Every structure is written in structure tokens, then in C-alpha cells.
């Protein structure tokens, strides 16, 4: 059995009841179950419809995400999440670069790297190099004044943990940020790169080895093995090209508001919903949120 989930942005509830009802009828599905009024609904299916991609595009035009996945095993035991532009709304290195006066140059490199146009490690080294001499105290300033959390993140982590899941934050960014974000959102652990400092200034270098695409896959392998769970029970979420490895390996890999190259290769795409979409996809109703 499969399950079709339709959802939209909770801040702009506009899922018309006729849409899931019509799709259920057209596809011969089960009863429509509302997970959140006007925001998320689901129904069971015996098989994946042949016209699912066409219907997905039509739903996108309405501001609605459509996901069809196997019913069995969809409630996951581990969350593996990217940080920048996933759990938070910014790219930390772009914010630091803005403080250093090289914002546009670094932002351009970041955008190209996240779309897979540049080698991640080389791009990271180049961007960090442009931060040489920046007062390390700027990190705290950026955390306090520039970083905002992606809507639904706290609910996602709290609800999955309340139901026995483990939450890990894995970022190609920096530990100076992941430690704070992980603590604020309730992650069990975090992994990221380390910016090197000397005399209260950034040296323009990052500790080796650099945590990139393969390190995120390694985190998936190591943590799931340590927990004694199958990778099929891992829910991974990210937006950039360096997330593709873990998105493709996880039982459910969600491209959240992702770059085009990532969307083209991801199993699950969420372009309109926020992070609570990952709870709806597991069958949690809003009344189940922790």
C-alpha cells in the first residue's frame, strides 16, 4: 500500500477539500484523512498512479505539495538534517561574509556550490579564505541578530523525539553555529566544520578534513548503525547538492525548498510546506505535535 499526502504552507492555509477528494476518486484511493484543516490531508492508494508527475506539477501551480510514498515504515526513527537554508533560513557563511564586507562575492559562490556547479570543498576553502582577519566575536553577533529558524523546525524535532526518534544535525557549515542551533531546537548531536581562530581573529582556514557530501553519508551510516536501526528508518532533509548523498540513501530523503539540481534527483520534494511537512509525511496530525 501507498499513501498520498497533500500539503501547503501552514502560514497560508489554502488546501481546498475538493483537491484530495477529487484525486482520491480519480485514483481509486481510500478515505481522505485530514491531518490539519486546510493544510494537510492524506489517503491510501493500492499503487502509484501513472500520471503522478503531471498531477504533481498541477498541484505545484496551486501552491500545494504532493508526495506519494509506501505506507509501511513511513514513521521514522531518526532525523538527519542539514542546517543552512533547512533548519535555519540563512547560509551562515554568507552572513559572516556580509559582516566582513565581501557578502555578494561569497553569496554567489555559495549559490553555485549548493546547486552543484562547484566542488564543495574548494568552494568552502575559497569562501572561508575571504573571512581572514574577521573578529571571531562576529559569530555571536550573527547568531544573535541574523539567524532565524525555519518554521516548523522545533515541532519537527520535538515530535519525532517524543515518539522515540533520534535527531542529528549535520552541516557543511560551522560548529560555532550548529552547536547553538542544535541546542535551541533539541537535536541530540551535531556535526560540522570548524573555523580556525588565532588571537581572536579568523585565520581564513577551516580544520581538516572538511565535512561535505560524503561526511553526511558517513554520519547516516555511523549513527544508524550505532542506534541499531535500518537506514530505511532514517528521514533526511536538506536543500543543497552536498545533501544529495544522504537524501538518496535515507529511507525518506526530503528536498526542502531545494536547488533545482537537488529537486531533480531527490525522492521527495517539498516546495510549499514548512518543516512540519516532514511530520505530515509520517502520518502525524497537528494534534500529535509535541
CA 203/CA 133 separation, integer angstroms: 6
CA 84/CA 203 separation, integer angstroms: 22
CA 265/CA 289 separation, integer angstroms: 30
Contact 172, 211 (CB under 8 A): yes
Give the CB-side neighbour count of residue 203, counting CA atoms within 13 A: 9
Residues in the chain: 290
Of the residues 9, 65, 82, 274, only one is catalytic, namely 82
* Residue whose C-alpha is closest to residue 41's, from 31, 50, 51: 31
Of the residues 16, 38, 65, 84, only one is catalytic, namely 84
Give the CB-side neighbour count of residue 30, counting CA atoms within 13 A: 15
Please confirm, yes or no, whether 82 is among the known catalytic residues: yes
Q: Which residues contact 204 (CB under 8 A, 6 or more apart)?
A: 128, 129, 130, 131, 132, 133
Contact 192, 211 (CB under 8 A): yes
- Terminal CA-to-CA distance of the chain, rounded, Å? 28
- 226: enclosing H helix or E strand: helix 213-227
Q: Which residues are catalytic, by number?
A: 82, 84
Amino acid at each position: 500500500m501507498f499513501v498520498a499526502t497533500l500539503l501547503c504552507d501552514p502560514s497560508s492555509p489554502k488546501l481546498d477539500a475538493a483537491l484530495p477528494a477529487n484525486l482520491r476518486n480519480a485514483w481509486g484511493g481510500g478515505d481522505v484523512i485530514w491531518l490539519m484543516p486546510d493544510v494537510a490531508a492524506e489517503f491510501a492508494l493500492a499503487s502509484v498512479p501513472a500520471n503522478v508527475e503531471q498531477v504533481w506539477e498541477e498541484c505545484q501551480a496551486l501552491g500545494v505539495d504532493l508526495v506519494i510514498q509506501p505506507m509501511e515504515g513511513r514513521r521514522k526513527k531518526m532525523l538527519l538534517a542539514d542546517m543552512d537554508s533547512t533548519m535555519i533560513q540563512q547560509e551562515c557563511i554568507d552572513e559572516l561574509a556580509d559582516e566582513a564586507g565581501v557578502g555578494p562575492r561569497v553569496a554567489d559562490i555559495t549559490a553555485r556550490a549548493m546547486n552543484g556547479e562547484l566542488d564543495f570543498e574548494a568552494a568552502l576553502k575559497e569562501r572561508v579564505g575571504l573571512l581572514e582577519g574577521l573578529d571571531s566575536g562576529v559569530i555571536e553577533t550573527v547568531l544573535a541578530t541574523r539567524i532565524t529558524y525555519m518554521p516548523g523546525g522545533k515541532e519537527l524535532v520535538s515530535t519525532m523525539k517524543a515518539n522515540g526518534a533520534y535527531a542529528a544535525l549535520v552541516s557543511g557549515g560551522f560548529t560555532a553555529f550548529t552547536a547553538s542551533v542544535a541546542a535551541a531546537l533539541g537535536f541530540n548531536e551535531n556535526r560540522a566544520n570548524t573555523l580556525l581562530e588565532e588571537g581572536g581573529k579568523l585565520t581564513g582556514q577551516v580544520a581538516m578534513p572538511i565535512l561535505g557530501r560524503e561526511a553526511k553519508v558517513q554520519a547516516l551510516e555511523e549513527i544508524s548503525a550505532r542506534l541499531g536501526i535500518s537506514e530505511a528508518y532514517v528521514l533526511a532533509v536538506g536543500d543543497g547538492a552536498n545533501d544529495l548523498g544522504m537524501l538518496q540513501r535515507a529511507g525518506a530523503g526530503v528536498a526542502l525548498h531545494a536547488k533545482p539540481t537537488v529537486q531533480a534527483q531527490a525522492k521527495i520534494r517539498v516546495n510549499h510546506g514548512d518543516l512540519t511537512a516532514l511530520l505530515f509525511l509520517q502520518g502525524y496530525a497537528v494534534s500529535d505535535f509535541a
